[in-house]
Amino acid sequence: MSDTSNLIAGRTGPWEIVLGLEVHAQVASNAKLFSGAAVGAGAPPNSQVSLVDAAMPGMLPVINRHCVEQAVRTGLGLNAQINLKSHFDRKNYFYPDLPQGYQISQFKHPVVGEGEIVVEHDDGSTFTVGIERLHLEQDAGKSLHDQDPGATYVDLNRAGTALMEIVSRPDMRSSAQAAAYVKKLRTILVYLGSCDGDMEKGNLRADVNVSVRRPGEGLGTRCEIKNVNSYRYIQAAIEYEARRQIEILEDGGKIDQETRLFDPGKGETRPMRSKEEAHDYRYFPDPDLLPLELDPAWVKRIRDSLPELPDAKKARLQSQYGLSAYDAGVLISEQDKADFYEAAVKGRDPKLTANWVTNDLAARLSAAGLAFSESPFGPEVIAELTGLIEENVISSKIAKDVFERMWAGEGGPRQIVETQGLQQVSDTGALEAIIDRLIAANPGQAEAVKTRPQAIGWFVGQVMKETGGKANPGAINQLLRAKLGG
Ligand code: MN
């Protein structure tokens, strides 16, 4: 943690940012944490609300086993301790979208304890972020301020939805690290199937704790920026907030511990409320719920059913296909992408296939706003295209053209090559005739090759031009060298 590369230069000397994140991830589940009401965006307001969610008197919460399983699965995926005994507490506060007057959460004894995540920077280097805990809690409803000029409405569809709050250690030192951490955490959750990771819908959002200090000093006073739901906003909020704190401290002021909101339009944070302490919530064990006791055999069954996770998949792609850490990292960043690759690479060159999947296809899909699972052509089609390159039927350059035609819906790779006559010309007789003509017409260039062998490139270019890029480069080079001695 004494890495000086992340220091920020202030007016009076260098500062270090200290960041810890609390990520709220909505549990992938058809029903809420303590009721059978449906979960899902898009339903008409207050259509997914049971009597429990509406906090009618005398209603009793009943824990949803599936949500607990998802939390345990996530804990195992974060290499974290699973607490066989945990319990639920009431976190008391008043808000119109919280009819119970308290949120059922886990305070002293969360279901998941300490773990850690290894995070990659873009350059491939890694750092480790400690996980302090993961607990289950209810989400609140939503106040609607934009339905009526004189009134606020409340929609309780979201009330009682299961959240996993994943609390990190203050182990991050730059906005880039914080974004990379959330990215990695999201990838793991999506692999596990415990959260869909949809940040736009707010199904995964981060509270960012920001403080600054002089290098080597103890922790400074922190501010918490609530509910930031994109990587870009996380970075922008941290950058702004760190600067704000540094300015105050350099002017001799002190930081007030408070909760702030990030305004993406203005690119700044502003105060929301002064930060409450845990004791302000008057936590106490929820008397409606028994302690949560997990059967070790059940936990083991969940552990045995875990899918291959990103780190393991990355290591396997590197060793099985000889891919670089970078290529493997790009492929595993989305499960669909890695699956697509593994289906396309069968019997094909691993590096060539990785290039097509992570560059050409990925760029096209992303521009069209499509996921790999929504690709207009499957892995077998990419395999057909790379097969044509490997068999020297087409050059890599022509393959790009074929790919564009595939995307435009002109047909499959082989079909396009045949109907457009794009096969590489490897017929030495035809190439030789072109080369002889070129040498005869350009004696000066031919002479130059004798003293400057790289001048042969000019002839290669000319042959390519005459054949519309379809000449086999290997064959041209061989013929030219034989004739010009380059
Ligand atoms: Mn929370």
Output the DSSP codes for 30-51.
Answer: SB-SSS--B--TTSPTTSS--T
What is the 103 CA–ligand 1 centroid distance (Å)? Answer: 9
297 and 354 belong to one structural domain: no
Q: What is the mean pLDDT of residues 257-283?
A: 87
In tens, the pLDDT along 95-120 reads: 999 999 999 999 999 999 999 999 98
What is the 141 CA–ligand 1 centroid distance (Å)? Answer: 14
134 and 263 belong to one structural domain: yes
pLDDT for 356 equals: 97
55 and 178 belong to one structural domain: yes
Is a pLDDT exceeding 50 seen at residue 2?
Answer: no
Cβ neighbors of 29 (< 8 A, separation 6 or more) are 39, 64, 66, 67, 70, 162
Q: Which residues of 113-150 are buried (b: 16+ CB within 10 A; e: fewer)?
A: bebebebbeeeeeebebebbbbbbbbbbbbeeeeeeee
Is a pLDDT exceeding 90 seen at residue 389?
Answer: yes
What is the 173 CA–ligand 1 centroid distance (Å)? Answer: 23
pLDDT for 448 equals: 87
Cα angle: 262, vertex 268, 269; to 5 degrees: 45
Q: pLDDT band at 1, cuts 50/70/90?
A: very low
Q: What is the mean pLDDT of residues 16-36?
A: 98
What is the 211 CA–ligand 1 centroid distance (Å)? Answer: 20
Is a pLDDT exceeding 50 seen at residue 472?
Answer: yes
Is a pLDDT exceeding 80 seen at residue 336?
Answer: yes
What is the 336 CA–ligand 1 centroid distance (Å)? Answer: 30
289 and 319 belong to one structural domain: no
Contact 264, 273 (CB under 8 A): no
117 and 239 belong to one structural domain: yes
What is the 334 CA–ligand 1 centroid distance (Å)? Answer: 27
What is the 22 CA–ligand 1 centroid distance (Å)? Answer: 8
264 and 387 belong to one structural domain: no
Cα dihedral 203, 159, 112, 106, rounded to 10, equals 140
Q: pLDDT band at 4, cuts 50/70/90?
A: low
Distance separating alpha carbons of residues 156 and 461, to the nearest angstrom:
68
Give the tokens for residue 462. Answer: 């000319």
452 and 338 belong to one structural domain: no
Is a pLDDT exceeding 80 seen at residue 465?
Answer: yes
Q: pLDDT band at 275, cuts 50/70/90?
A: low
* Distance in Å from the first CA to the final CA of the chain: 56
User: For residue 55, which of 284, 279, 227, 286 has the smallest C-alpha distance?
Assistant: 286
206 and 258 belong to one structural domain: yes
What is the 477 CA–ligand 1 centroid distance (Å)? Answer: 66
What is the 165 CA–ligand 1 centroid distance (Å)? Answer: 6
Residues near ion ligand 1 (CB < 5 Å) are: 165
Is a pLDDT exceeding 90 seen at residue 41?
Answer: no
Instruction: Enumerate the β-bridge partners of residue 259.
Output: 224, 273
User: For residue 475, which of 440, 431, 422, 439 has the smallest C-alpha distance?
Assistant: 431
Quote the pTM value. 0.85
What is the 419 CA–ligand 1 centroid distance (Å)? Answer: 60
What is the 207 CA–ligand 1 centroid distance (Å)? Answer: 9
Cβ neighbors of 447 (< 8 A, separation 6 or more) are none
Distance separating alpha carbons of residues 328 and 408, to the nearest angstrom:
29
Among 257, 278, 302, identify where a domain stops.
Answer: 302
Is a pLDDT exceeding 60 seen at residue 364?
Answer: yes
Residue type, 344: A
What is the 227 CA–ligand 1 centroid distance (Å)? Answer: 10
What is the 29 CA–ligand 1 centroid distance (Å)? Answer: 18
For the chain, what is the mean pLDDT?
Answer: 93
- Ranking 140-154, 331-345, 369-383, 421-435 by mean pLDDT, the lowest is 421-435
Is a pLDDT exceeding 90 seen at residue 277?
Answer: no
46 and 102 belong to one structural domain: yes
444: domain range? 428-484
Is a pLDDT exceeding 60 seen at residue 3?
Answer: no
What is the 137 CA–ligand 1 centroid distance (Å)? Answer: 7
What is the 24 CA–ligand 1 centroid distance (Å)? Answer: 7
Contact 73, 306 (CB under 8 A): yes
pLDDT for 110 equals: 98
Cβ neighbors of 449 (< 8 A, separation 6 or more) are 455, 456, 459, 480, 484, 485, 486
Give the tokens for residue 91. Answer: 């976190």
In tens, the pLDDT along 158-169 reads: 999 999 999 999
28 and 91 belong to one structural domain: yes
312 and 163 belong to one structural domain: no
What is the 19 CA–ligand 1 centroid distance (Å)? Answer: 17
pLDDT for 138 equals: 97
- Ranking 46-60, 241-255, 349-363, 420-434 by mean pLDDT, the lowest is 420-434
What is the 187 CA–ligand 1 centroid distance (Å)? Answer: 21
What is the 30 CA–ligand 1 centroid distance (Å)? Answer: 21
Is a pLDDT exceeding 90 seen at residue 289?
Answer: yes
Give the tokens for residue 362. Answer: 């990925």
Cβ neighbors of 5 (< 8 A, separation 6 or more) are none
What is the 350 CA–ligand 1 centroid distance (Å)? Answer: 44
Overall number of domains in the chain: 3
More confident call, 23 vs 271: 23
In tens, the pLDDT along 46-71 reads: 999 999 999 999 999 999 999 999 99
Residue 337, burial from CB neighbour count under 10 angstroms (0-12, 13-18, 19+): buried
Question: What is the number of helices (H) and of strands (E) in the chain?
Answer: 16, 16
What is the 421 CA–ligand 1 centroid distance (Å)? Answer: 62
Distance of CA 150 to the CA centre of its chain: 41
**In which element (H, E) is residue 266 found?**
none
In tens, the pLDDT along 415-441 reads: 999 998 888 776 778 888 899 999 999
Q: What is the mean pLDDT of residues 349-356?
A: 97
